[in-house]
């Protein structure tokens, strides 16, 4: 067994904390610098989504990160219990954003998909969102 | 990190370090102030010192690009670091902004 679980508040400061922590966790298998950078970027996207969309920047919200390394594959699950996504398929389209006036690029899921080997999104309005990503790291 | 040089009507803005949702607003203010106060024809965004960036940085760059284009300025990227380069490629920003 090799797992990592963290719960933090939905604070902006936790964006860099969580991506660095998951990157450091993955580094125990000596992946390339590029693989660690990819993981950090994908984690940052998911955590930012939870803060900005899930909790609408309310720091009382809790973000859970659960990681596992098994057979050289890193699995990262990032969950919130925020407002959820009504239409996951639509949210995953390139450039789709509900916050057009705030200069959000609408590319969060696109980047998660491109930078990781797999991406699954589970969500329901009022219940929250879980993003599950995997990447071969060794 | 934020700095700039202005020579021969080319304004080069240097942004570096980690660019994410937490610090994009501060960089946006710095860039907007620079664009507003300096007199130039060409705008170059030097990303050589970027240690991390995600889609928040893409939103930031797209916003400045629209402003600069509306002002009739040319816009290009210079020396993106490897992490910046990958995000710029995936986001499609190279299809609208040239790398010099």
Tokens read off for A67: 């990681």
pLDDT exceeds 80 at position B2:
yes
CA distance linking residue B90 with residue B82, whole number of Å: 13
Which residues of A are known catalytic residues? Answer: 45, 49, 104
β-partners of residue B43 are B11, B75
Do B59 and A103 contact (CB within 8 A), yes or no? Answer: yes
Alpha carbons B87 and B93: distance in angstroms, whole number? 9
pLDDT of residue B80: 97
| Domain of residue A81, residue span | 3-136
Contact A105, B96 (CB under 8 A): no
Q: Inter-chain contact B22–A13, Cβ cutoff 8 Å? A: yes
pLDDT attached to residue A105? 84
> Residues A7-26: what's their mean pLDDT?
98
Residues of chain B in contact with residue A115, where contact means CB-CB under 8 angstroms, are 86, 90
Q: Is A41 in contact with B60 (Cβ distance < 8 A)?
A: no
Closest CA to B55 of B96, B20, B13: B20
Average pLDDT score, chain A? 95
Which CATH number goes with the domain that contains B60? 3.30.750.24
Express each pLDDT in A62-121 by its tens digit.
999 999 999 999 999 999 999 999 999 999 998 888 877 667 888 999 999 999 999 999
What pLDDT sits at residue A101? 66
CA A77 to CA A98: how far, in whole Å? 23
Contacts of B91 in chain A (CB under 8 A): 105, 107, 110-111
pLDDT confidence of residue B100: 87
Give tens-digit pLDDT for B40-77.
999 999 999 999 999 999 999 999 999 999 999 999 99
With helix as H, strand as E and coil as C, how does B55-70 read? HHHHHHHHHHHHHHHH
HSE value, Cβ hemisphere, 13 Å, CA-based, for B26: 11
Residue A37 has pLDDT above 70, yes or no: yes
Pick the closest to residue B80 from B48, B44, B43 (CA basis): B48
Q: B22 pLDDT exceeds 90?
A: yes
Interface predicted TM-score (ipTM): 0.91
Number of domains in chain B: 1
Q: In sequence order, which residues have a C-beta less than 8 Å from that of residue A38 and are 6 or more positions away?
A: A115, A116, A135, B86
Host domain of residue B30: 2-99
Q: Give the residue-averaged pLDDT of B13-33.
A: 96
CB atoms within 10 A of CB B57: 26
* Domain count for chain A: 1
Interval A39-65 mean pLDDT? 97
What is the CATH number for A26? 3.30.565.10
pTM over 0.90? The answer is yes
């Amino acid at each position: 067994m090799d797992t990592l679980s963290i719960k933090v508040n939905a604070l902006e400061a936790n964006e860099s904390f969580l991506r660095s922590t998951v990157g450091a966790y993955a580094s125990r298998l000596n992946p390339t610098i590029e693989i660690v950078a990819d993981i950090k970027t994908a984690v940052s996207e998911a955590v930012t989504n939870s803060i900005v969309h899930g909790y609408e920047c309310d720091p009382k919200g809790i973000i859970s990160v659960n990681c596992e390394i098994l057979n050289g594959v890193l699995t990262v699950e990032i969950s919130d219990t925020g407002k959820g996504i009504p239409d996951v398929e639509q949210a995953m389209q390139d450039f789709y954003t509900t916050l057009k006036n705030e200069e959000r690029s609408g590319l969060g899921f696109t980047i998660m998909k491109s930078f990781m080997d797999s991406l699954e999104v589970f969500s329901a309005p009022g219940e929250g969102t879980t993003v599950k990503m995997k990447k071969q790291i060794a | 990190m934020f700095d700039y040089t202005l020579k021969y009507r080319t304004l080069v803005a240097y942004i570096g370090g980690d660019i994410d949702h937490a610090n994009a607003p501060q960089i946006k203010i710095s860039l907007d102030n620079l664009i507003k106060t300096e007199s130039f024809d060409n705008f170059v965004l030097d990303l050589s010192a970027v240690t991390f960036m995600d889609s928040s940085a893409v939103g930031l760059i797209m916003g400045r690009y629209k402003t600069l284009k509306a002002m009739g300025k040319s816009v290009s990227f210079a020396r993106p670091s490897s992490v910046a380069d990958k995000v710029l490629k995936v986001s499609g920003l190279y299809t609208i902004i040239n790398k010099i």
